[in-house]
Structure 1
């Protein structure tokens, strides 16, 4: 039996909430309906999508792989519905879009491609800059919306934001590093390790604040604006890095392995989302962009 869109919706909701009860509350349906739908989906796929434990559910590796496809299917369906339902006179206009450099390659590219396919008549102008400058442009009315990190958003009274993705921090390590054998890693295990610091999109500021909250002063071995440089330096043993899962990849450009270990219990997640001026009268192109981004929202995994 082929799986249904409803089963995919329930599965994604459980993955996002971490519990069946949380998914049931979010969708306003019974827990038994969600439980049965997920079990049917697992039977159809022939794999276990979740590991059950008393406090909730952990997504399995096959479940994580399937989640990416399920999210894409639901986003494609939402996009198709929106294209069909839009009136012709609502698919033209302009959209001035800002993005920070880190987010541009990992979040915006697919979202922007979907938007241009759905609304080819909209003239989209984009600018890439740091968060502070994008906030200035948003407040001044020079941008309609920005896709950026929300953790260090400064002018929250003048700006409205909506989270699209929550990405926990992980510790990047070279293969064979002593910390790769630990079942769990605490902040005190990281103190004293040479740190490769990424300096784009306020990541450096966030990392320093996080370590400072634990009374730790990082021993910075290298500072760079290049994610690929961080990967290469970590992979060759020059240091470790504390960065969001959003940008983790298991290999450097040279083909060396990079290990990642969960430190989310100690550190809050990075929030990526949309920002626009509070009280702004939303144009139809902006409404469409926000709706498409919401439909593509990435689930938060626990």
Structure 2
């Protein structure tokens, strides 16, 4: 079953805040995550929009290429207009979508927890540590269950846009800064009756890259789109949208005078031979 993360670009502070309740529990925390693309079956294109997205993934690197890289380690820096900042060492194993984050600075993610915090997902369980001590508070764990798959998905998103269960619609050609973009709408099948997010990607016909995209965050009732703009770097043959910024927009992707939220991925390294023990509680 294909599921899409409620994208908040790495736990968007403008969309959620977590209140630390004292009640502790061992209740399992569940979070929608997109289905993993372990293999890439031969595709039969649904329409022109589907083919354009496929061509993009072949240009930047598909999920099979990420699986061949085994794992990744990088530094994520997230800055909001009010000056708050998170600095995280992110680690993923692509086969199984295992995810780990070590927060040396977390002014917008669980700021009530002092010191170093660690979050993990081992393919089965989400967990949280503060200065090495296990935290079992349900609200804090819900934040982890949002952060871990969200951060993973943002890093792998371009490769995963041909996952099964996605719907593609060619919207229009739109000229922005002298580039006639192919605009494609992407939606996700809902098997639980809950509303799913919508993406509207702007594919540069010359570079075959998504230079920007619009997205909703339906888990938080955010049906008005946010605009994400991207800059890419080449890391071992994979094109990574490592410099990112986003803010509120409309479905014509008009840029307003509202401030940007800035996100940067640096020191990206593939195939580190990560030990699975890093991801377990």
TM-score by length of 2: 0.22
Higher helix share: 1
**In terms of Rg, which structure is larger?**
1
Higher strand share: 2
TM-score by length of 1: 0.21
